Amino acid sequence: MSSNTKPVLLYGGILLIGIFLPLALPAFQTQISVMWMMVTFALTWDILGGRMGYNSFGNIVFFGVGMYAAASVQHELYFDIGQFEVISDQFNLQLTPDKYLFGLGLGMIIGAVICVALAWVLGSGILRLRGHYFAICTLGLGVAVGELAGTIDYIGAGSGMAAPVFPSAMGSAGLFYSYFFFILVVASFFSLKWLYSTRFGLAINAIRDDEDKAEAMGVHTLRHKTVAWTISAFFLGITGGLFGNMTGFIEPLEVAFPTITFGIFMVAMALLGGKGTLWGPVLGAILFHIIKETTWTYFLGWQWIALGVIIIVNVVFFQQGIMGYLEDKYPHWFGVEVEESNAIDDQAKEATQ
């Protein structure tokens, strides 16, 4: 097989899965949407965690902010937001399809912009921290923002707010969202693939390997770190906007800023697949989601305990993840050439020996 047909087959296969999987399994459309969302989670976590060596427990902030921002924009456009605390059940949130789509689109864009700005502001402070301090600071950030969101009346405080109802004229909400999330996965995957091939990719790798050295060589470390976080925030903001609309009901601690579920899943999935690799987070997220969805119901309430065990086992015994393991074992699969295979070089080597 030539080297050009392999990626075509791979990407083509994934495209077919993206298109036909929700059609083939209509009962699981929401699960499929969430699976694609998980892939975006793992991919965006890996920008900092895998590529830059900055392990964030607080990326969930951008998910929640994007979610609230999008829903608030939708409400501002078509409803009297002042009434929202009372309304959730009796107020009519029905919209025509074009209004719904416009509101959703504008909401996601504004949400993403807010997230980028927020990541920039927060990042220029928090990204000065390193190692342990960064990890714990982001953990604190995630919880703090979640708690603060629960005190803001405008977005329904602790009792939450409802997103507009999906217009029945548009057909199946499950299909719509599974495609939308799939497009988001494709967009983020190729953006990151391209990004890692630029100078930016090498710079954040350098920061991961030795930040002191990168500083000594004059790399704009803080600038690169902040940009990395804003890119993460951009995709998470959009993801949040979508998820809020799909779920229909937004609540601060369980839906928008769930540090110990989604927030930790991001880390666990990237580690499972292999952090710092391109396909690792994708593979990890899909596997994690499938395992979780198929086995969860059999645990009868012990599933969260299983989650703790999975994380521990993963960290303690299988640090490098699936892709990391494969890359160690079969480096030539990944195009890593260590020695020159060039005949002239071989001759030169022999001559010097």
Partner 1 sequence: MTNIIEVEGVSKSYGGVVANHKVSMEVPVGRITGLIGPNGSGKTTLFNSVVGYQPIDEGSIKFKGQEISKMNVQQIARLGLLRTFQQTRIYGNMNGVQNMLISVSHRNAAFLDMFKPYPAEMKDKAEHLLEFVGLYQKRKLSAGDLSFGQQKLLEFAMALMNDPEVLLLDEPTAGINPTLINGLLDRLHRANTEFGITLFVIEHNMRVVMNLADNIYCLAHGELLAHGTPDEIQNDQRVIDAYLGAH
Partner 2 sequence: MWDNILVLVHAPIFNVQLLIDGILVGSIFALAAYGMALVWGVMDIINIAQGEFVVLGGYVAVMMAQSGIHPFFAIFVAPVVLYGVGWAFYQTIIKRVVDKDLFTSLLATFGISILVQQLMNQIFGADIRRAPHGFGTWGFFDNLVTIEQVKLLAALAALALGGVMVLFLKKSRLGQAIRATAQNARAARIMGIDTDKVYAATYGLNAAICGAAGAMVAMIWVVEPYIGLVYTIRAFMIAIIAGLGNLSGVVLAGLGLGVAENFAGFIMGAEYQIAFVFSLLVVILVGRSILLGRKREYLK
Applying CB under 8 A, the residues found at the interface with partner 2 are: 55, 57, 125-126, 128-133, 135-137, 139-141, 143-144, 147-148, 150-151, 260, 264, 267, 271, 301-302, 304-305, 307-309, 311-312, 315-317, 319
Residue placing its CB nearer to partner 1 in the complex, 196 or 249: 196
Q: How far apart are CA 147 and CA 211, in angstroms?
A: 33
Q: How far apart are CA 113 and CA 110, in angstroms?
A: 5
Q: How far apart are CA 236 and CA 51, in angstroms?
A: 17
Q: How far apart are CA 297 and CA 279, in angstroms?
A: 28
Torsion from C-alpha of 254, 63, 13, 172, nearest 10 degrees:
60
CB of residue 133 to partner 2, shortest distance in Å: 5
Look at residue 38 and give its three-state secondary structure. Answer: helix
CB of residue 193 to partner 2, shortest distance in Å: 25
CB of residue 94 to partner 1, shortest distance in Å: 43
What would you measure as the largest C-alpha separation in the chain, in angstroms? 86
Closest to 55 measured CA to CA, from 288, 228, 250, 238: 228
Closest to 252 measured CA to CA, from 93, 45, 41, 67: 67
CB of residue 323 to partner 1, shortest distance in Å: 14
**Tokens 């391109």 found at:** 278
DSSP per residue, 269-282: HHHHH-TTSSSHHH
Q: Which option in partner 2, partner 1, none does residue 143 bind, with CB closer than 5 to 8 A by kind?
A: partner 2
- Please give the radius of gyration of the chain, using alpha carbons only, rounded to the nearest integer: 22
Between strands 249-250 and 161-162, the pairing is: antiparallel
Which tokens sit at 166?
């999906």
Residue placing its CB nearer to partner 1 in the complex, 6 or 220: 220
Q: Which option in partner 1, partner 2, none does residue 338 bind, with CB closer than 5 to 8 A by kind?
A: partner 1
C-alpha distances in Å from residue 67, one per residue of 162, 235, 324: 11, 12, 33
Q: Which option in partner 2, partner 1, none does residue 11 bind, with CB closer than 5 to 8 A by kind?
A: none
CB of residue 191 to partner 1, shortest distance in Å: 11
Residue placing its CB nearer to partner 2 in the complex, 132 or 332: 132
Residue placing its CB nearer to partner 2 in the complex, 74 or 232: 232
Look at residue 333 and give its three-state secondary structure. Answer: helix
Q: Which option in partner 2, partner 1, none does residue 200 bind, with CB closer than 5 to 8 A by kind?
A: partner 1
Q: Which option in partner 1, partner 2, none does residue 335 bind, with CB closer than 5 to 8 A by kind?
A: none
Residue placing its CB nearer to partner 1 in the complex, 130 or 349: 349
Residue placing its CB nearer to partner 2 in the complex, 112 or 145: 145
- Contact footprint for partner 1 (CB under 8 A): 195, 197-200, 202-203, 205-206, 208-210, 212-221, 223-224, 227, 336-340, 345, 349
CB of residue 298 to partner 2, shortest distance in Å: 15
Q: Which option in partner 2, partner 1, none does residue 308 bind, with CB closer than 5 to 8 A by kind?
A: partner 2
Residue placing its CB nearer to partner 2 in the complex, 77 or 264: 264
Q: Which option in partner 1, partner 2, none does residue 141 bind, with CB closer than 5 to 8 A by kind?
A: partner 2
8 Å CB contact between 68 and 252? no
CB atoms within 10 A of CB 275: 25
Residue placing its CB nearer to partner 1 in the complex, 218 or 301: 218
Q: Which option in partner 2, partner 1, none does residue 209 bind, with CB closer than 5 to 8 A by kind?
A: partner 1
Q: Which option in partner 1, partner 2, none does residue 336 bind, with CB closer than 5 to 8 A by kind?
A: partner 1
CB of residue 85 to partner 2, shortest distance in Å: 16
> Is the backbone of residue 2 left (phi > 0), alpha (psi -120 to 50) or beta?
beta
Q: What is the chain's length?
A: 353
